């Protein structure tokens, strides 16, 4: 309990970032719908909000079990990574290496690329590569692109490990 | 002197493994994307998707909202469930072997159960077979058309409902099941087989697919929600019933 009380700010930060990341990941495939909807003058703010919130339910309807799990895991890991980085910066005055920031970003990027892999090609990657290149690429992957999400989890798991190790390591000068 | 000290403002740990992690991650990312491009462009001998490739590139450059205007207008030759003159139309581009299309088919049936009888919503079905993921889907789309040609709009939907009901998705439906479905819904099986083998509706299916891509479709199910004032909204993927319902309610309120 003392640990929770002492670090409540970081825990809230981790939860907030995780929730935000998850919401973005779920809503990203329908960014055009949301852009047009929120720009629409004929729909009330409440109506726009209700559509946006109801689209979050696509985590159940538009994701396979594996892609839902990787998306949730990536969101949690990104939240933890950001909170740990803030902790390092504020408590230990440790200046983050560009490496740890870059690796976390790469992991998060992989997470975003894997979004909606399950939806028969409607992933960010296929949008990025075009319908032919994207879907063609998926046929060569045994898990039809969900590997990208797993890779994102591994990369973020690795950065989390590095950050925790740095935090728990005594402040010493290393022999190179 | 082997020992080095660092300023507090500099990284304290210069870990070799950590240093390796970044380039490794970037190399893997680059490799994956390069591989995706390479295999994606090299590996597909199927003529139709290749034919739509330049169009897909062109559409990607267009504003997504404008691409929706490329939607072929709903006409009498479309397969419509509900009131054809309904103020709200949901045009679905679907792949019979996509598991998410199977799921969304049930969602749309629920929508029609609630809004179809009152004439407020019409469901328009068009084909979007993703050959590279589901090679069997194109022939199944033609089978739907053959059923419709023989028995009309209701027969088309009966065939579609039955096919989505029995397929296990991801190309696991045995093609031998197609005439069995025809028999199940009570149409002439020999006429159906003749239609299917002749490829009468191959062009129709190809046109639907081309139109799906032209409107910005990149995966299935891809749907376009047409509001009473004609405004179009894209629905990407198998969205939950509640989301479709909220869109309908908003459109009805603002009309």
- Whether the CB of A66 is below 8 Å from some CB of chain B: the reply is no
- Whether the CB of A131 is below 8 Å from some CB of chain B: the reply is yes
Rounded to whole angstroms, the Cα distance separating B150 from B145 reads 9
Q: Which residue has the tokens 């993703």?
A: B130
Task: Determine the distance from the C-alpha atom of residue B59 to the mean position of all C-alpha atoms in its chain, rounded to a whole number.
Answer: 16
For A56-80, the pLDDT digits (tens) are 999 999 888 888 888 899 889 989 9
For residue B57, the model assigns a pLDDT of: 42
Beta strands in chain A (DSSP E): none
Of A29, A48, A133, the CB nearest to B41: A133
Taken as a whole, chain A contains a residue count of 176
- Whether the CB of A54 is below 8 Å from some CB of chain B: the reply is yes
- Whether the CB of A61 is below 8 Å from some CB of chain B: the reply is yes
Note whether B253 contacts A175, CB cutoff 8 Å: no
**Secondary structure (3-state) at B232:** strand
- Whether the CB of A109 is below 8 Å from some CB of chain B: the reply is yes
Residues in chain B with CB shorter than 8 Å from the CB of A139 are 43, 132-133
Note whether B246 contacts A51, CB cutoff 8 Å: yes
Q: Which of B107, B108, B106, B103 is nearest to B91 (CA)?
A: B108
For residue B34, the model assigns a pLDDT of: 47
Predicted confidence (pLDDT) at residue A145 exceeds the cutoff of 80: no
Q: What are the residues facing B17 on neighbouring strands?
A: none
For residue B73, the model assigns a pLDDT of: 96
Residues in chain A with CB shorter than 8 Å from the CB of B217 are 131
Query: What's the average pLDDT block by block, 10 residues per block, for chain B (255 residues)?
Result: 41 47 52 46 35 43 77 95 96 96 97 95 97 93 97 97 96 96 97 97 97 91 95 94 96 88
For residue B113, the model assigns a pLDDT of: 96
For residue B13, the model assigns a pLDDT of: 44
């Amino acid at each position: 309990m003392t640990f929770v009380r002492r670090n409540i700010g970081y825990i809230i930060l981790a939860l907030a970032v995780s929730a935000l990341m998850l919401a973005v990941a779920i809503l990203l495939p329908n960014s055009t719908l949301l852009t047009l909807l929120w720009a629409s003058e004929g729909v009330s703010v409440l109506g726009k909000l209700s559509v946006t919130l109801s689209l979050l339910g696509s985590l159940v309807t538009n994701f396979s079990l594996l892609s839902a799990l990787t998306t949730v895991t990536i969101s949690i890991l990104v939240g933890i990574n950001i909170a740990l980085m803030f902790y390092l910066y504020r408590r230990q005055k440790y200046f983050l290496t560009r490496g740890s920031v870059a690796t976390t970003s790469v992991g998060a990027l992989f997470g975003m690329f894997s979004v909606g892999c399950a939806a028969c090609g409607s992933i960010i990657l296929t949008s990025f590569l075009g319908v032919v290149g994207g879907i063609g690429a998926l046929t060569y992957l045994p898990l039809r692109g969900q590997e990208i999400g797993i890779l994102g989890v591994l990369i973020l798991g690795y950065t989390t490990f590095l950050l925790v190790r740095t935090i728990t390591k005594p402040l010493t000068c290393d022999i190179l | 002197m082997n020992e080095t000290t660092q300023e507090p403002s500099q990284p304290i740990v210069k870990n070799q493994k950590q240093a390796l992690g970044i380039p490794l991650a970037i190399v893997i990312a680059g490799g994956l994307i390069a591989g995706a491009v390479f295999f994606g462009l090299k590996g597909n001998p199927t003529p139709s998707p290749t034919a739509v490739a330049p169009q897909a590139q062109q559409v990607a450059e267009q504003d997504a909202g404008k691409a929706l205007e490329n939607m072929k207008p709903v006409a009498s030759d479309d397969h419509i469930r509900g009131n054809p003159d309904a103020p709200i139309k949901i045009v679905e581009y679907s792949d019979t072997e996509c598991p998410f299309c199977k799921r969304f088919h049930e969602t749309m049936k629920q929508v029609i159960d609630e809004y179809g009888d009152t004439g407020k919503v019409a469901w328009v079905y068009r084909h979007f077979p993703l050959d590279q993921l589901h090679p069997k889907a194109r022939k199944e789309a033609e089978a739907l058309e053959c059923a419709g040609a023989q028995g009309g709009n209701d027969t088309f939907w009966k065939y579609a409902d039955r096919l989505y009901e029995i397929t296990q998705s991801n190309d696991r439906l045995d093609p031998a099941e197609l005439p069995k479905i025809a028999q199940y819904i009570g149409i002439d099986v020999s006429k159906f087989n003749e239609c299917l083998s002749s490829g009468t509706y191959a062009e129709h299916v190809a046109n639907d697919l081309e139109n799906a891509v032209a409107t910005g479709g990149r995966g299935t199910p891809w749907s376009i929600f047409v509001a009473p004032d004609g405004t179009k909204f894209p629905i990407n993927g198998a969205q939950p019933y509640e989301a479709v319902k909220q869109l309908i309610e908003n459109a009805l309120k603002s009309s």
